[in-house]
Amino acid sequence: MAERTAEDAAGPDAVLRALADPNRRQILRLVRGSELPAGQIAAHFADLTQQAVSQHLRVLAGAGLLSERRAGTRRLYTLRPDPLDHVRAVLAEFWPDALTRLKDVVERDHPPTGDTP
């Protein structure tokens, strides 16, 4: 499980759970245009402990909705709006690479005879 990336783990259920909580939806709104450290996010929630905010951040990141980056001792968060399109982006690079390998192998096994354009 530790090796699994967000796009593997994030499914409808994970996203559903993540979005079900109004505080978590509020966190997404806060980080949709900018990258914020956890402390600054927590400052927006006077009625939540830092620990509770951290837990919300973990749920959102686990659903693939937040990306997390370390900068020194701080953790910075920003909205990752579409985990599904990420899968697509990976495959959009994967297929051309695979087909290029196919072409190379076939043409090495069956060298063109010279009249090939």
- CB 110, min distance to another protein, A: 5
Write out the residues near another protein by the rule CB under 8 A: 3, 7-16, 19, 25, 28-29, 32-33, 65, 79, 81-85, 87-88, 91-92, 95-96, 98-107, 110, 112-113, 115-117
- CB 113, min distance to another protein, A: 8
**Do 69 and 76 meet the contact criterion of CB atoms below 8 Å apart?**
yes
Which C-beta is closer to another protein: that of 15 or that of 48?
15
Which C-beta is closer to another protein: that of 13 or that of 47?
13
Strand-pairing partners, residue 67, are 78
- Phi and psi for 2 in degrees, rounded to 5? -65, -25
Instruction: Please report the sign of the dihedral spanned by the C-alpha atoms of residue 17, residue 91, residue 3, residue 75.
Output: negative
Which C-beta is closer to another protein: that of 74 or that of 107?
107
Which C-beta is closer to another protein: that of 3 or that of 72?
3
**Do 23 and 60 meet the contact criterion of CB atoms below 8 Å apart?**
no
Angle between helices 12-19 and 50-62 (to 10 degrees): 150
- CB 72, min distance to another protein, A: 28
- CB 6, min distance to another protein, A: 10
Count of CB atoms situated within 10 Å of the CB of 111: 8
